[in-house]
Amino acid sequence: MMEKATITIDGRKIQARYGQTILQAAREHGIYIPVLCDHPALPPEGACRICLVEIERQRTLQPACTFPVSEGLVIYTHSPKVIEARKFSLELLLSDHPLDCMTCEATGNCLLQDLAYEYGVTGDRYQGEKHQYPIDASNPFIVVDRNKCILCRRCVRACAYINGVEAISVFYRGFNAYIGFGADSTMQDSPCEFCGSCVEVCPTGALWPKMAIGKGRPYQLQKVQTVCAYCGVGCQIELQVRNNRIVNVVGVENAPVNQGFTCVKGRFGNDFVHHPDRLTRPRVRKYLLEGGKREGKERGEWVEVDWDTALDLVSRKLVEIRDTYGSDSIGVLTSAKCTNEENYLMNKLARQLIGTNNIDHCARL
Amino acid sequence: MGKVANLESLQQVYFEAIPLLANRRAQGGPAEKPLNGKCDVLICGGTGCVASSSRDVREALLVEIERRGLKEDIRVITTGCHGFCAKGPLVVVYPQEVLYCQVKASDAPRIVSETLIGKQILEDLVYQHPQSKERFPVYHEIPFYRHQLRLSLRNCGLINPEDIREYIARQGYFALGKALTQMSPREVIEVVKDSGLRGRGGAGFVTGIKWEITQRSPIRPKYLVCNADEGDPGAFMDRSILEGDPHSVLEGMIIAGYAIGAEAGYIYCRAEYPLAIQRIKIALAQAYEYGFLGENILGSGFSFDIYLREGAGAFVCGEETALLASIEGRRGEPRPRPPFPSVSGLWSKPTNVNNVKTYGLVPQIILNGAEWFRGFGTPNSPGTATFALTGKINNIGLIEVPMGITLREIIYDLGGGIPKGKAFKAVQTGGPLGGCLPAEALDTPVDFDSLVQAGATMGSGGMIVVDEDTCMVEFAKYFLTFASAESCGKCVPCRIGGRRLLEVLNRISNGEGKPEDLDEIEYISRNMKEASLCALGQLTPGPVVASLRFFRPEYEAHIYERKCPAKVCKGLITYRVIEENCTGCMVCKRNCPAGAISGEKRQVHYIDPNICERCGICIEVCKFDAIMIE
């Protein structure tokens, strides 16, 4: 339905579309409503109650993230009632939260911290029971600290709706509810694929990439936008770099291809970058460089050369083989790490220049 | 039995079924055609009576009847709940309509020889009024029943719920026949709207309007759901109806399905009701066998199926969106409304959700008309209210009364007042999410709007009476403990707010209350009500708010004087030996599980308050009234 509805937010009349939520309409018109459990890439949940607004003729405050617009709604985003309710929810969240922002990895990149700051909530209103959950660091990639979890369920939704794995769910009820994995096992023993989408959407420090721990505050990190080199999909990622070393990798929000999400390799598979065994320059066998023959079973030592030398050698050898043994004695195997364009060119090379149809592709990344 | 193909064959089945009930009569009505020399013995098969061994009574009666060769003349029938659970196991003998209370298996031979053969009434088994000592042998003349108006419960305790013919003999499925063959879906909705029937689940939304919204949706398929996840502690209205008259609910559902154009219905019944589930299963099988469910019902072309779903023990699944999530196989958690289920419900399709009692009333409204229903109750709350009466009251049980009756009438006329001559203190309506009302509010009429106005809620029908020995802080704490434990944990105000509120109350009852705690209670309650996602969170503070409103001095006594006026809160009471009364018999010392009592034989004893656990055993065992609480 593209029909328009006129709604009033904080005294301002705006045109919203039917099918939109109040939050969507407000955002489109630059009106700020704070959120915590809502995430643009995920279906709304209505759990955190931070986006509550006052709507005339509604019995209670309503979450802007789920309430659909309709003609004539009159909405207040920052009435005294709304502010009190938001503070109330923040006080409650902080009353069961470690308050260790000084050493918390998420400091400076934490929605809960931002909201507490915005509403002046310090977290000392209640001195009640606090959870003491053990930390789950069972896997190589993600550290789970349930003490910092606010049960916004962004991770649950990301796992179900983005990755389609449903490895994360809520266990138990009420005050004792917590986020768990698989059949309440460790993350390692669950069906988790470690795509890290849960880490991407977690608004606090409850889910954190292991490799980034202790490596720097957000403001100390240089952010480099790039395209993931793992496959031809072309996910945009942001490398967070400190002292010329990759500290963390996150997806680029609103990137056309991946909308901020990645797979396990793009996010966590970057240890090769700084690995001492990594080849950064071409090498050829010494005997090939000297134009000689291989002696016995030994292939001889490697010699580091420049690209022209290496490519010349490869093309010379390919022509030699084609001329001596025929085109079909050569097969070409290309990689899914290459782009479409690169693979197209390899196809041309194989069929037109070498003259063979022996070309295949791993396409299994 | 073949399928009932049309209205004429339903008539036929009805005439064949009438003799089954010839000996019995409904409340106050005459027995239709007593059969000479034949008797019906009705044994209550409700959960309460089964728990007090009514099945043994039945076996004993059968053995005795068999032994005397009376099988042809005496039918022993298991019925649903009669409601007078405090006096169970109940046995009713027709055609005399004599009610026997607290019958034991060993009474069976006497009942057979004296009453069934000798036509004599066994005075000792007859109900005796606790105050006047008057005995009431005739079922409907007992004060507990005399003041009732049984519409929802009209068949409970009268028919065998496992025999569809007995339901048909009570004009069962005639409303369905009327709706399907003589009325359009719109006309059915109009009658329900005109009747003013409001949802019996507690919120009191007008049923006809809810149906209309679902009916108007162009989206198909549509679903129908019967909410039988009755979870309030001490409430068993829906259970009794499902156990005692399941077909009335099925018939109401099929009519509703026809009215809104639904393809299928679901009954969501809590798994803790095994007997209700068993009876629903039997009723469903019989309804399919007779063709009231399935394809082309009564030759009308309308087809409808009903499925049974069992809950997994979550109180919050009584909330309609959580219930739908549970039926879909997901975690039972509410989601924000709108959209309401009538727009987007089960599997995102338009879904009508009503309570057991709401569906159960529909057939009678269709059969007798909207005016008939409006003839009972009040203009804004027509019809009757069904309550599970419990707590410090003489006649614990299930009652149905016309809306508009006062709390006083319910508690004193039907309920028989407070036991042991104690004073009435408060009555909690609306279950753990409702509120309590004090003695000053006893003349409040019981209907949806008056109760809310007075500070409580109608709820689904639990009514808990407490006497002067109850501490209202402790009372509120009990419900709060229940509701906060049943929070699903989805939204912050309910998940953590409920716990923080409970911590404040614990503090107060432990004698650690602070002057600012009362403001804190109001702050948490106000915001939980405003900010929680579903009614569970919004109403969790209800009992605390109501008790603070009506019994504020009691809270203040806990905080400022460090005293529990009702002498209940363990943190605020001390057990002390009254020296003049103590004989030094040592009974209390021997029985104290904490070893807190010291003293030699024939010398005054002493209770060490630092060791004493306030269990109260010493008071119970002392023969000389020598121990007091202060």
Render pLDDT for B6-65 as a digit per residue (tens, 0 to 9): 999 999 999 999 888 888 876 555 555 555 668 899 999 998 999 999 999 999 999 999
Query: When comparing pLDDT for A28 and A300, which is higher?
Result: A28
Q: Write the pLDDT tens digit of every residue in B216-274.
A: 999 999 999 999 999 998 889 999 999 999 999 999 999 999 999 999 999 999 999 99
User: In this structure, is the dihedral angle defined by the CA atoms of residues A313, A316, A320 and A322, taken in order, positive or negative?
Assistant: positive
> What single-letter amino acid sits at A183?
A
Number of domains, chain A: 3
Instruction: Give the whole-angstrom CA distance, residue B584 versus residue B581.
Output: 9
**Which of A67, A89, A150 has the CB atom closest to B338's CB atom?**
A67
B603 shares its domain with B517:
no
The pLDDT score that the predictor gives to residue B72 is 86
The predicted complex's ipTM stands at: 0.90
Of A256, A278, A300, the residue at which a domain comes to its end is A278
A350 within a domain of the structure (yes/no): yes
Phi, psi of A199, deg, nearest 5? -65, -40
The pLDDT of residue A48 is above 80: yes
Instruction: Give the whole-angstrom CA distance, residue B535 versus residue A307.
Output: 71
In this prediction, residue A319 has a pLDDT band, given cuts at 50, 70 and 90, of very high
Give the residue-averaged pLDDT of A81-103: 97
Q: What is the CATH number of the domain that holds B389?
A: 3.10.20.600
- Specify the DSSP class assigned to residue B30: P
Query: When comparing pLDDT for B38 and B628, which is higher?
Result: B628
The pLDDT score that the predictor gives to residue B202 is 85
**Which of A47, A175, A176 has the CB atom closest to B491's CB atom?**
A47
- Region class of A170: left (phi > 0), else alpha (psi between -120 and 50), else beta: beta
Task: State the Cα torsion B339-B342-B343-B347 to the nearest 10°.
Answer: 90
CA B136 to chain centre: 25
Contacts of A129 in chain B (CB under 8 A): 499, 503
B113 shares its domain with B169:
no
Most confident stretch, A269-278, B36-45, B478-487: B478-487
Task: State the Cα torsion A89-A91-A93-A96 to the nearest 10°.
Answer: -150
Supply the angle between the helices B517-531 and B542-550 in degrees, to the nearest 10: 140
Give the residue-averaged pLDDT of B185-200: 96
**B312 inside 8 A of chain A by CB:** no
The pLDDT score that the predictor gives to residue B28 is 52
B252 shares its domain with B180:
yes
Q: What angle do CA B129, B418, B28 make, to 5 degrees?
A: 40
Cβ contact A49–B529 (<8 Å): no
Cβ contact B338–A89 (<8 Å): no
Inter-residue contact A251 to A245 (CB < 8 Å): no
Instruction: Give the whole-angstrom CA distance, residue A116 versus residue A90.
Output: 7
Q: Write the pLDDT tens digit of every residue in A215-256.
A: 999 899 999 999 998 888 889 999 999 999 999 999 999 899
Task: State the Cα torsion B547-B548-B554-B556 to the nearest 10°.
Answer: 170
A197 within a domain of the structure (yes/no): no
Q: Write the pLDDT tens digit of every residue in B270-299.
A: 999 999 999 999 999 999 999 999 999 999
Inter-residue contact A147 to A131 (CB < 8 Å): yes
> What single-letter amino acid sits at A331?
G
B188 shares its domain with B209:
yes
Inter-residue contact B199 to B240 (CB < 8 Å): no
Residues spanned by the domain of B414:
384-560
The pLDDT score that the predictor gives to residue A98 is 95
A52 within a domain of the structure (yes/no): yes
The pLDDT score that the predictor gives to residue B486 is 96
Number of domains, chain B: 4
Contacts of A37 in chain B (CB under 8 A): none
Query: Which of B335, B496, B510 should be substituted to probe chain A, the one whose Cβ sees the most A Cβ atoms within 10 Å?
Result: B496
The pLDDT score that the predictor gives to residue B392 is 95
B390 shares its domain with B360:
no
The pLDDT score that the predictor gives to residue B196 is 96
**Tokens, residue A295:** 């002696």
Give the residue-averaged pLDDT of A189-201: 96
Q: What is the CATH number of the domain that holds B254?
A: 3.40.50.11540
A321 within a domain of the structure (yes/no): yes
In this prediction, residue A294 has a pLDDT band, given cuts at 50, 70 and 90, of confident
Give the residue-averaged pLDDT of A280-308: 88
**B533 inside 8 A of chain A by CB:** yes
* Cβ contacts from A onto B, under 8 A: 109
**3-state DSSP assignment of residue B342:** coil
Query: Which of B527, B529, B534, B536 should be substituted to probe chain A, the one whose Cβ sees the most A Cβ atoms within 10 Å?
Result: B527
B550 shares its domain with B612:
no
Cβ contact B339–A88 (<8 Å): no
Query: When comparing pLDDT for A335 and B561, which is higher?
Result: B561
CA B507 to chain centre: 33
Q: Write the pLDDT tens digit of every residue in B322-349.
A: 999 999 999 999 999 999 999 999 999 9
Nearest to B75 by CA among B13, B21, B123: B21
For all residues of chain B together, what is the average pLDDT?
A: 93
Q: What is the CATH number of the domain that holds B74?
A: 3.40.30.10
B93 shares its domain with B123:
yes
In this prediction, residue B595 has a pLDDT band, given cuts at 50, 70 and 90, of very high
Give the residue-averaged pLDDT of A256-274: 92
Give the residue-averaged pLDDT of A98-125: 95
Q: Are strands B98-100 and B127-128 parallel, antiparallel or unpaired?
A: unpaired
Residues spanned by the domain of A326:
287-361
A303 shares its domain with A354:
yes
The pLDDT score that the predictor gives to residue B31 is 52
The pLDDT score that the predictor gives to residue B630 is 86
The pLDDT of residue A1 is above 70: no
Cβ contact B503–A128 (<8 Å): yes
Inter-residue contact B56 to B137 (CB < 8 Å): no
Q: What is the CATH number of the domain that holds A18?
A: 3.10.20.740
Q: Write the pLDDT tens digit of every residue in B297-327.
A: 999 999 999 999 999 889 999 999 999 999 9
Query: When comparing pLDDT for B616 and B38, which is higher?
Result: B616
A268 shares its domain with A332:
no
Of B502, B527, B560, the residue at which a domain comes to its end is B560
Instruction: Give the whole-angstrom CA distance, residue B68 versus residue A190.
Output: 68
Q: Which residue of B has its CA nearest to A84?
A: B527
A211 within a domain of the structure (yes/no): no
